[in-house]
Amino acid sequence: MTQTGSVADGWETVIGLEVHAELATETKLFSGARNHFGAEPNTNIDPVSLGLPGSLPVLNRKAVELAIRVGLALHCEVRPSIFARKNYFYPDMPKDFQISQYDQPIDLGGWLELPSGKRVGVTRAHLEEDTGKNTHVGGSGRIGGAEYSLIDYNRAGVPLLEIVSEPDIRSADEAKAYVEELRAILVAIGASDGKMEEGSLRVDCNVSVRRPGAPFGTRCEIKNVNSLRSLGRAIEYETRRQIDLIEAGERIRQETRHWDENAGRTTAGRSKENSEDYRYFPEPDLVPVVPDPAWIEEIRAALPVLPADRRHRLAAAAGLEHTDQPVIVAVERGLDRLALDAIAAKADPGRVLTHVEHNLAVDGAEQLAGNTLAALVALETGGKLTATQAKAVLAELVELARGGTQGDPAAVAAAKGFEAMQDSALDDAIAAAVAASPAEWERFKAGDAKERGKLTGFFVGQIMKATRGKADGKAVTAKLNALADG
Amino acid sequence: MPARISRDDVAHVARLALLELTEDELERYTEQLGAVLDHATDVEALDLSDVEPLSHPLPVRNVFREDVPGEALDRQEVLGQAPAAEDGRFRVPAILGEEP
Amino acid sequence: MSGPTALELAAAVRSGQRTAREVVQASLDAIAARDGEIHAFNTVTVEQALAAADRIDATVAAGRDPGPLAGVPVALKDNLCTRGVATTCSSKILDGWQPPYDATVVTRLVEAGAVVVGKTNLDEFAMGSSTENSAFGPTRNPHDPTRVPGGSSGGSAAAVAAGFVPLSLGSDTGGSIRQPAALCGVVGVKPTYGRVSRYGLVAFASSLDQIGPFAATVADAAACYDAIAGWDRFDSTSIAEPLEPTTEALGRGVAGLRVGVVAEMTGEQMGIAPDVLARVRAAADALAAAGAVVDEVSVPAAVYGLSAYYLIAPAEASSNLARFDGVRFGLRVDAPTTAEMQRATRTAGFGPEVKRRIMLGTYALSAGYYDAYYGQALKVRRLILRDFDAAYERFDVLLSPTSPTTAFELGAKTADPMTMYLNDVCTIPSNLVGHPALSVPYGTGVDGLPVGVQVMGPALSEAMLFQVADVLEGSLA
């Protein structure tokens, strides 16, 4: 896919995202029916989640707490809020209205920092209830051609937090980074499991294009974006479509469009005659939510350190920038605590982050203790283990950690036969190799950097063979050069 | 103050409310709703710009339930009350149009 | 028409003097004898009632406490959910629906030992003042079957007035308990909003609806109120304040109590009939004679109550009644698509008054009109509350007619909705501000039909209202 909407071809994409996150509660937003994905159809139901006549909603305290957590994590103001009814008929919505926070949301005005260091504004986050699920039967199985539909209300009433960003995002990649960062935050604070494939995280995007510096263009809202990949593709497609229209002299119509994953395009939604008149009014069956400041502070105090802060913290400890790749990767993998502990135990930060980035993309790596990793790095930097040997030892250490024990790197190395080569033994091996190939050695001694580079490989290979891999490549190279020049 | 409710207004709200009206009904309801709204002109005429709306008679706030599962309904009992059911689910005719 | 009171029956059952089965059978017999004419009931639950009576008798026989209302037959307005028993709201759209759960008030009455004998007729979805808007035909006034019993809880009022049951429950959104109580000559109580759980009451207008008792005597009404009132975890708007048993307030008298007669509800502008006004004056005199300090009081904004009510109640109703769409329960009229099915179902299932209010409410909430109608009505509600608060600084309770007239003839007001709506002019303000109010019978009008006097009080003043009603009741004897 070619990069579209970049400033390079004279256009800029403007993106705002609405992310619906299902909150990780035991029960639904307004009743004690279970919030549990994958149950048998219509088993997580009660009078409230079925919207039976006479049923009344009672707000789940945990859902409010999670909404406050998210608000605080996104630097929002947590405010007094009320629920409203959004009235429209749809068969998967049991009451034929949705209870949602409308003009008084719980979280207002925050921001989120992307790994790139860019801040994306968060307009608001508000609580609302999810709908049930329709299955279309007959025809093509798609909504248009179905003969009839079956409805499962297990999901109806599951708590959602709708998180609305400012139109601060400028590319498909940035949009994906935003969703990934938001997901990392939601998971870190226990607000949501963040599983896009199970619908726990759903994204609608508003896309428009403009000449850089010009006012915002007319936007289209794109729905049915079910994965990060779809998000990127949908934005790139929609950007191209809008640019093509404008360049053809046409106007963009503000509308809702549907992402068709198979066709790889967005299509205009059916225009609904009543869609604009939701007749919002305050939900009379619920009372205002006015969180006690003490409660908010209690929730704030219990928040874990968030991904952006973790990047800053690790970067500071490692002497890097928070936008550097190894730092981003360490936090993404949840291995920044390990790295910090290892660095605190005096391990070389560069070696630590190299291991985290390249050798620890495995389950259970987070169970490794910082001291263990530090001990391993110390063997390496002390010339007791080669990089290759260290990697093998590390894999073994992770296995042990997963089983609940922290191994001793030196003992593991020894067990693998990686006993440290004495310097004198290495010197002996080098001398033997040089003696065995006098012609090559003469060329090495006389050669420039390029020539030496070629021959280094030859000598290291010989020495490795002789030492059965126990020699450290870097140490050998250094010694060869020293010998030739000295 | 809004103009008196028109036939078109009544047709519009009937559409919103998923009600079908005959021509006669449209005529009659336009008249009757107009009469009720005429009575409400006393309220429309009041200057209440500095009065806080009262959407709820009681100053109650922060009513929560704990996040503890309650009793679920029996699926058979519930589906037994449904006009149509199949495969543990509520059955409805074809749904046209996209999700709002 | 007056048989033993609920408290007398309960005492007899509790002491083993009478069995619950006998008491319940007598109630069922009375219903069988005369309900063909009155049509107070949509459903009579003969077998369940007798089985429940037997359980009470077994409890008594075992020496356990059967509850304060042991064996008392009660009737429930048919908009209160009863598990496994049809709950219709007198609408075709719910025909045949059997809820899978009980309303909280039903659970509480049963826990108190009462025995449900059936579900009573109402104006469809409680929208009306005469019980003529029922899909199953009107209820008639036991005092004169050519007259309406009032509404919307006409069936529950008539069931008590006819002597079928000593107690029944209704719901009151704009006067739907008090007005039929007045027209049927029984006591009817609308408690403070939030005092009685609404869980299981099929909602009409959520911010106005309250469930309350009908009874032949003030003491019975108080006993029933005590049984059903109190906090409920299933209703967010339920009040947590502890409850003082109101039955204990009876007999305290009214000496020194400050009673205000509401000027706006006794003047000509509200269209109150002179014979009704005369009874309100007589009630005021009786209270003064019993030592109360009686004066006139003005609640100026109350005159806007009707207008505000007919914007707020339909608005909430238009949303509450959306769920009746043929998908999950009740009536379905088949059609090729779901939207067509929903439209056909609602069109066939709702009666004209319900459609009228749904459309009125939809209009009041729709884009462009919210501020002028719904928003403005909510502000008027605040005005009315301020005026009542001011009145209660000078008075303990307020007095007014309940209904502008005595029971009118069937069909007299069905042609013009606005005429019908004017019936609620004195009762609506209490709903708008959430305050308690009751209607107590106080003699008859020139036509010999019952007149009710309304006693209003500030939030949570039920005990005082019963105290005043008790004095009025006693002054007639």
Report the side by side order of strands in the sheet with A133-137: A133-137, A148-152, B89-93, B85-86
> C444 — contact with chain B (CB < 8 Å)?
no
Three-class secondary structure assignment of C103-117: CHHHHHHHHCCCEEE
Contact B94 C359 (CB under 8 A): no
A positions 391-410 inside 8 Å of B (CB): none
Q: What letter represents residue C177's amino acid?
A: I
Contacts of C310 (CB under 8 A, 6+ apart): B36, B39, B40, C360, C421
Partners for B (CB, 8 Å, 3+ pairs)?
A: A, C
Q: Is C347 exposed, middle or buried (0-12, 13-18, 19+ CB in 10 A)?
A: middle
As a whole number of angstroms, the longest Cα–Cα distance in chain A is 97
Which CA distances in Å does A439 have to A452, A484, C350? 13, 13, 105
Q: Which residues contact A13 (CB under 8 A, 6 or more apart)?
A: A4, A5, A170, A171, A172, A207, A208, A209, A235, A239
In the block, residue with structure tokens 């009603």: C469
Give one DSSP letter per residue of A255-285, joined into a string.
Answer: -EEEEETTTTEEEEPPPPTTTT----EE-TT
User: Nearest CA to CA, how far is A103 from chain C (Å)?
Assistant: 14
Place of tokens 């409400």: B40
Section C380-392 average pLDDT: 97
A378 vs A388: CA distance, rounded Å: 15
Binary contact (C372, B36; C-beta < 8 A): no
- Yes or no, beta carbons of B55 and A282 under 8 Å apart: yes
CB contact under 8 A, A89 and C342: yes
Contacts of range C8-15, beta carbons closer than 8 Å, 24 or more positions apart: C9/C71, C9/C72, C9/C166, C10/C68, C10/C69, C10/C70, C10/C71, C10/C72, C10/C113, C10/C223, C12/C71, C13/C56, C13/C57, C13/C60, C13/C66, C13/C70, C13/C71, C13/C72, C13/C113, C14/C60, C14/C66, C14/C70
The span from the CA of A363 to the CA of A333, in Å, is 10
Q: Is 50 exceeded by the pLDDT of residue C469? A: yes
DSSP designation for C144: B
Buried/exposed code over C308-328 (b: 16+ C-beta within 10 A; e: otherwise): bbbbbbbbbbbbbbbbbbbbb
For B90, the closest of A62, A150, A286 (CB atoms) is: A150
The DSSP line for A134-178 is EEEESTTSSTTT-SEEEEE-TTTT-EEEEEEE-S-B-SHHHHHHH
**Using CA of residue C454, residue C455, residue C456, residue C461, what is the dihedral sign?**
negative
Among the partner-chain residues C97, C235, C365, the one whose CB lies closest to the CB of A279 is C365
- Considering only CB atoms, which chain A residues are within 8 Å of B60? 287
Q: C74: helix, coil or strand?
A: strand
Bridge-based pairing of strands A59-60 and B64-65 is parallel
In this structure, the number of other CB atoms found within 10 A of the CB of residue A431 comes to 11
Question: Is C355 among the residues known to form the active site?
Answer: no
Choose the closest CB to A148 out of B63, B66, B92: B92
- Give the tokens for residue C305: 């109550």
Residues of C in contact with B41 (CB under 8 A): 307
Q: pLDDT for C213-272, tens place per residue? A: 999 999 999 999 999 999 999 999 999 988 889 988 898 999 999 999 999 999 777 789
- Two tokens at C413? 């007001």
Per the CB < 8 A criterion, the answer to whether A219 and A256 are in contact is no
Question: Residue C439 phi/psi, 5° resolution?
Answer: -115, 130
Residues A356, A374: Cα–Cα separation, whole Å: 12
Q: HSE-up of C337 (CA within 13 Å, CB side)? A: 10
Contact call for B17 and C331, based on CB within 8 A: no
DSSP secondary structure string for all residues of A58-116: -EEHHHHHHHHHHHHHTTPEE--B--EEEE---TTSTTSEEEE--SS-SEEEEEEE-TT
Contacts of C331 in chain B (CB under 8 A): 83
Of the candidates C27, C130, C134, C176, the residue annotated as catalytic is C176
| Residue A271, pLDDT score | 55
A53: nearest Cα among C107, C330, C202, C313: C202
In whole angstroms, what is the distance from residue C188 CA to residue C181 CA? 5
Is the ipTM higher than 0.90? The answer is yes
Quote the minimal CA–CA distance from B16 to chain C in Å.
Answer: 8
Question: Integer distance in angstroms from the first to the last C-alpha of chain A?
Answer: 55
CB contact (8 A) between residue C236 and residue A47: no
Name the residue among C412, C413, C466 with its Cα closest to residue C188. Answer: C466
Task: Tell how strand A97-100 and strand A148-152 pair up.
Answer: unpaired
- For residues A245 and A268, what is the distance between their CA atoms, to the nearest angstrom? 14
Angle of helix C104-111 versus helix C218-228 axis, rounded to 10? 110
Q: Do C203 and A54 touch (CB under 8 A)?
A: yes
pTM as predicted: 0.91
The count of CB pairs under 8 A between chains A and B is 142
Instruction: List all residues 6 or more positions away from C192 whose beta carbon is below 8 Å from its beta carbon.
Output: C210, C239, C434, C435, C436, C459, C460, C461, C462
The percentage of residues in chain C with a pLDDT greater than 90, rounded to a whole number, is 92
Would strands C437-444 and C450-456 be described as parallel, antiparallel, or unpaired? antiparallel
- Name the active-site residue from C77, C92, C190, C413: C77
Give me the pLDDT at residue B97, please. Answer: 64
Specify whether C92 is catalytic. Answer: no
Whose structure tokens read 């007319």? A218
Q: What is the pLDDT of residues C121-163, one digit of tens each?
A: 999 999 999 999 999 999 999 999 999 999 999 999 999 999 9
Report the neighbours of A using a cutoff of 3 or more CB pairs below 8 angstroms.
B, C
Q: Nearest Cβ partner of A42 from B56, B69, B75? A: B75
- The answer to whether B46 contacts chain C (CB < 8 Å) is yes
For the stretch C419-431, pLDDT in tens is 888 889 999 999 9
Q: Check CB contact of B82 with chain A, cutoff 8 Å.
A: no
Residue C385: pLDDT over 80: yes
Output the six-digit token pair for A415. Answer: 């067990």
Per-residue exposure over C356-389, b if at least 16 CB sit within 10 Å of its own CB, e if not: bbbbbbbbbbbeebbebbbbbbbbbbbbbbbbbe
* pLDDT per residue as tens digits for the range B72-82: 999 999 999 99
Distance from CA of A166 to the nearest CA of B (A): 22
Q: What digits encode the pLDDT tens for the residues C354-365?
A: 999 999 999 999
Contact C378 B55 (CB under 8 A): yes
B26-45 residues touching C, CB cutoff 8 A: 29, 32-33, 35-37, 39-44
Per-residue pLDDT of chain A (486 residues; tens, 9 = 90+): 344 444 457 999 999 999 999 999 999 999 999 999 999 999 999 999 999 999 999 999 999 999 999 999 999 999 999 999 999 999 999 999 999 999 999 999 999 999 999 999 999 999 999 999 999 998 765 666 679 999 999 999 999 999 999 999 999 999 999 999 999 999 999 999 999 999 999 999 999 999 999 999 999 999 989 999 999 999 999 999 999 999 999 999 999 999 998 999 999 876 554 457 899 999 999 999 999 999 999 999 999 999 999 999 999 999 999 999 999 999 999 999 999 999 999 999 999 999 999 999 888 898 999 999 999 999 988 888 888 889 999 999 999 999 899 999 988 988 887 765 666 777 888 888 888 889 999 999 888 888 888 888 888 888 888 877 777 777 788 888 888 887
Residue A364: both structure tokens together? 């259970």
Residues shown for chain C: 477
Sequence-ordered list of residues with C-beta below 8 angstroms from that of C5, at least 6 positions apart, any chain = C166, C215, C216, C217, C219, C220
Output the pLDDT for position A451: 86
Give the whole-angstrom CA distance, residue A356 versus residue A335: 7
Residues C204, A130: Cα–Cα separation, whole Å: 24
Enumerate the residues of chain C whose CB falls inside 8 A of the CB of residue B76: none
Contact C322 A50 (CB under 8 A): no
Residue with tokens 């009743």: A31
* Phi, psi of C158, rounded to the nearest 5 degrees: -65, -35
The answer to whether the CB atoms of A274 and B15 lie below 8 A apart is yes
Whether chain C has a CB inside 8 Å of the CB on B96: the answer is yes
**HEC string of C156-202?**
HHHHHHCCCCCEEEEEECCCCCHHHHHHHCCEEEECCCCCECCCCEC
Residue B58 has pLDDT above 80, yes or no: no
Encoding tokens for residue B46? 């009041």
List the subunits that have 3+ CB pairs under 8 angstroms with C: A, B
pLDDT tens column, C44-85: 999 999 999 999 999 999 999 999 999 999 999 999 999 999
pLDDT of residue A414: 86
The one-character DSSP state at C212 is: E
Structure tokens at A402: 């997963």
Q: Do B73 and A61 touch (CB under 8 A)?
A: no
Whether C298 is catalytic: no
